[in-house]
Amino acid sequence: MGSLGALRRGSDLTILLVYGVLALLLLFVLVVVDVFLQFTDVPGALLIVVVLAFLFMLLQWAIAPTIVRWATRGRTEVTPQTNPWLYRTVAELAHQANVPMPRHVWVSTSPDPNAFVFGRTVGSSELVVTQPLLEQLNQDEVRAVLAHEIGHLRHRDVVIMTWVSAVPLLAYVLARLGFEALRVGGRGRDRNAGAAILAAIAVAILSYLVYLITQLLVLYLSRTRESYADAYSGAATKDPHLLASALTKITYGLSLARPDAEPSGLRAFYIGDPVKARDDYEDLRTRMQQYDLNRDGQIDQY
């Protein structure tokens, strides 16, 4: 994936592109309103559009943790009494990373081996590991996965991804509003109705294109931040092979699961991608000889 410097530059550029595309979309909306609807107070409209966009993203940031918590299946909070090793390991890794201990640590009854962190801020973050992950990985591998998740906190990914992910959602909402306005406005027969229809078509089409583009950029950013957290895990545990071994087991476990076993909205948070797991595992099997140096049927650490 490249050096840490390249990862950071790639992340920064992607964030700039996402918000740059959003700015162009909002500007386009104002131009369309001015051209088709003869709206004269462009500065006032610009301020209104920017404020509404910011309030929308602020709402997304405020409610996202509640939605994620609600979507996490059968969670049980980890305490020093219920799972001393897991709680102590998270606390040690957080101290090592110089970040606050996650406010809540959960074990989920999800059928898939996975882990993720979420929250409004680093200080209010929550960490989730699934029961299959604890059962299928050894303690060193679990520690590497936890270090990966703590790496997300150190890099403030919980905040960055929440704000950036709001952009394609905002574009999608604008597209839906445009198509809805087109449906309702199509009933009119006067000249103003015709202008409104043209404006709605322009806004809806461009907003949907922006949604597709920014969604791809956000997915790329998510993978980049995952690689950044991978690098942190290797540095924190002083053995990158532990995370590699853990990810191999996670991929195998996910490849056996039903594609619809998990809520699709949580996909961006996971350390392992449930949708791509089957393809990733098949790719690993076809290239097994590249990783099994001594031909014993196991992936070697090298």
CA 74 – CA 59 distance, rounded (Å)? 26
> Other CB atoms closer than 10 Å to residue 42's CB: what's the count?
12
d(CA 113, CA 130): 6
Q: Is 67 exposed, middle or buried (0-12, 13-18, 19+ CB in 10 A)?
A: middle
Tell me how many helices (H) and strands (E) the chain has.
10, 4
Among 149, 180, 226, 262, the active-site one is 149
Nearest to 119 by CA among 95, 97, 100, 141: 100
Q: Is residue 77 annotated as a catalytic residue, yes or no?
A: no
Residues constituting the chain:
302
Q: Measured at the alpha carbon of residue 147, what is the angle toward residues 144 and 148, in degrees to the nearest 5?
A: 90
Measured CA distances, 15 to 37, 53, 122, 221, 255 (Å): 33, 16, 19, 8, 31
| Tokens describing residue 137 | 């990985």
Residues tagged active-site: 149
